[in-house]
Every structure is written in structure tokens, then in C-alpha cells.
Amino acid sequence: MIVLGIETSCDETAAAVVDGGRKILSNVVASQDDVHGPYGGIVPELASRRHIEVIVPVVRRALDTAGVALRDLDGLAVTQGPGLVGSLLVGCSVAKSMAYAARKPLVGVNHLEGHIYAAFLEEHPPDYPFVALVVSGGHTALYVAHERGRYECIGQTRDDAAGEAFDKVAKLLGLGYPGGPIIERVGATGDPRAIRFPVANMSDGAPDFSFSGIKTAVSLHVRRAGPLGTAQVADIAASFQATVVKMLVRKTVKAAQRLGIRRLLLTGGVAANSPLRAALQAECEERGYTLHVPSRRLCTDNAAMIAAAGHDRLESGERAPLTMNARPDLVLA
Ligand code: KG4
Ligand code: ZN
């Protein structure tokens, strides 16, 4: 089955063509960093406007690169939620119009399931069951994937998403947007043990995350420290990153241990972070667990992962009616 995936849930306009749910024929991602950079964060109205401007050329390029015409497609998959409503609407409207015009089956895909399916685009996809840590700009959650399409949420953030914390701390340090890659780059020259930031632990022992405390701690530290030199900024970035990594790795490994599941998946935009990938890999090796981490370009938002998730849904006979609509609060489990 050849599936066209469309993704516009946040600030990336993306389209991809995937064959058999596994083979990427094209994967086009138009970033909006230039639009939101000056604001240090995503401006939803500007995001939807940019999606409208670029969605048609992006889809066209995905089809051209794959060497397929609309009539060659076996189906379309589009991100239905969660995300920004105005942004989601653009992708959903385009996908519905194309499906209607070309008389092709359509499915709506949960963006978080898409992130999980990024692992199935790699050479060695995970067997079920596995524990998935999905860390992005909008979400930070732990799922058990019991079988194809059956997920259980076993923990999530109680406040900010990890990526959001990276973005806010980068803004605080005057480093620009998006914060994750910049913090990683700047932090590489700093000392991760320079500053002790607090590690959040849930008083009820739940495998949930919290990143608002560390964000406040960084903000207080910056205010107290006064004007910062390059080396100090690097130390703050490195120490912040190390603490976030510690929180993510600890909770994930603990959850897997408790469940007796020895296969883990790390995915979502923040999974592009090298120290996080390395730390979780080291913990997994120590315990004899298998860790699956998609390549960086598949961890951050893309439409190939949406096409892959959509492929399995189309294959199982699922169809979205033309009344299908964007669902900003869609949950996975
Ligand atoms: O999954 P994603 O592309 O979009 C959402 O679904 O939110 O994730 C974007 C988030 C942003 O917060 C960005 O700062 C973060 O992922 N990110 C990173 C890195 N690359 C992207 N965070 C830490 N280290 C990175 N290398
Ligand atoms: Zn995402």
C-alpha cells in the first residue's frame, strides 16, 4: 500500500509518501523556525497562515520526489490531533479534499502514535510489547504499546513538556528558538555538574514527570547570577540538560523494570538530543534491555511517521468520513 501522509499539527508543514508502512519514498518537511524565531516560541495564528501558504507545494514535492501521482496512492493519512487547532485544520482540509477528489480512502492519525511509528520506519522495528517514552515540545508521556494500535498511558507530565522546558530555558538565556538543539549545542561546551538543579519526584510515587520546578530554578539562578558570560551560559545549559535527561531516564527505566518489559522506545523531538539518547542507551545496556531510537530526522515532526501509522489503520479497514475534523485535545490512551 502506498500512503501519502500529511502533518501540520504544530510548526512543521510536512508531507511524505511511504510504501508498505515501512519504506520512505519521500519525506518533505518545511520548518517554520524563521516565522517563530523572533518571538522565542510558536505563535499559533502565524503557524496556520504559513501552513496554508506552503502545504500545496510541500505535498506536490512529496509526490514528485516519490515519483507517484495522486491516482497511484492507496490511501491518505493526516494528523487529526493533538496540536494547534488552526494548524491541524489546514492538514485535515487538504487531506479530505484530496481524498474526495481522487476517491481515495482516508484515515486520521494521532500525532503521538505517529511518533511511536517512527520506529517502524527503521531497519529493526520493535516487537510488542514495549515501553515508549514520547518526548516532544507539546507532550512528555510514557506508554506501554501492548500490540498494534493498543496503548496504555502509564505516566505523563503534570505541567510543562520536556521540549517546552528546553525552549523556555533557551529563551531565558537569550539563545533563540527552537531551544532544544541550541541548548544541546551550547551545553556541549559547559560542565553538566556546575549547578545542581532540582530533580522532581512525585510525592505519590507515580511515574509522572514535572518540569516547571527546574524551569523556575533556572530562572532564579539567572536572576541571582546577574549578567552572564559565555562560559556561565554553557554551564547552565549543560546542567539543565543533564537534570532533564536524568529525570526522563530514571522514570522510564523504573517503569520498564516495574512492568518487566525489556524493550524500550525513545521518540519525539527531544529524542533528537544526543545526551538523552546516550544516557538511556547506557542504562538499557546495563540492564540488558533493547532500546529503539529512530534517526533524528524521524524523531522530530515529520509526515512519514503519520503515513506509517496510517498505513496500519487503513490496512485494518479503518476509514475517516469527510466529516472528520481536527481534534486539538485528542488522546492516545
Ligand atoms: O516532536 P516535535 O518536533 O514537535 C512536537 O510535537 O512538539 O518536538 C519539538 C521539540 C521542541 O521543543 C524542540 O526544542 C525539541 O523538540 N528538540 C530538542 C532537540 N531537537 C528538538 N530538544 C532537545 N535536544 C534536541 N536536540
Ligand atoms: Zn511531535
pLDDT for 205 equals 83
Ligand 1 center to 322 CA (angstroms): 32
As a whole number of angstroms, the distance between CA 299 and CA 81 comes to 17
Specify burial of residue 174 (Cβ count, 10 A radius: 0-12, 13-18, 19+): exposed
Among protein residues, the one with the nearest Cα to ligand 1's atom 14 is 180
Ligand 1 center to 282 CA (angstroms): 22
pLDDT at 81 over 90: yes
- As a whole number, mean pLDDT of residues 111-133 equals 98
As a whole number of angstroms, the distance between CA 92 and CA 81 comes to 10
What's the whole-model pTM score? 0.97
Query: For 190-247, how does the pLDDT look when each residue is reduced to its tens digit (9 = 90+)?
Result: 999 999 999 988 888 888 999 999 999 999 999 999 899 999 999 999 999 999 999 9
Ligand 1 center to 143 CA (angstroms): 19
pLDDT over 70 for what percent of the chain?
A: 100
pLDDT for 200 equals 87
pLDDT for 203 equals 83
pLDDT for 180 equals 97
Q: Is the CB of 240 under 6 A from ligand 1?
A: no
Nearest ligand, measured from the Cα of 170: 1
Q: Residue holding cell 500525532?
A: 111
Partners of 147 in the β-ladder: 150
Confidence grade of residue 261 (pLDDT, cut at 50, 70, 90): very high
Q: Is the CB of 268 under 6 A from ligand 1?
A: yes
Average pLDDT, rounded, for the chain: 97
pLDDT for 117 equals 98
Ligand 1 center to 226 CA (angstroms): 28
pLDDT at 70 over 90: yes
Pocket test for ligand 1, best of 243, 267, 270 (most atoms within 8 A of CB): 270
- Work out which ligand 1 atom sits closest to the CA atom of 301: 3
pLDDT at 174 over 90: yes
pLDDT for 206 equals 87
pLDDT for 304 equals 99
Q: Is the CB of 10 under 6 A from ligand 1?
A: yes
Among protein residues, the one with the nearest Cα to ligand 1's atom 10 is 137
Nearest ligand, measured from the Cα of 139: 1
- As a whole number, mean pLDDT of residues 170-187 equals 96
Q: Is the CB of 177 under 6 A from ligand 1?
A: no
Q: Is the CB of 77 under 6 A from ligand 1?
A: no
Query: For 277-329, how does the pLDDT look when each residue is reduced to its tens digit (9 = 90+)?
Result: 999 999 999 999 999 999 999 999 999 999 999 999 999 999 999 999 999 99
- Work out which ligand 1 atom sits closest to the CA atom of 163: 12
pLDDT for 303 equals 99
Nearest ligand, measured from the Cα of 10: 1
- Work out which ligand 1 atom sits closest to the CA atom of 178: 14
Query: For 19-41, how does the pLDDT look when each residue is reduced to its tens digit (9 = 90+)?
Result: 999 999 999 999 999 999 999 88
Ligand 2 center to 109 CA (angstroms): 12
Q: Is the CB of 114 under 6 A from ligand 1?
A: no
Pocket test for ligand 1, best of 117, 300, 301, 306 (most atoms within 8 A of CB): 300
Q: Is the CB of 11 under 6 A from ligand 1?
A: no
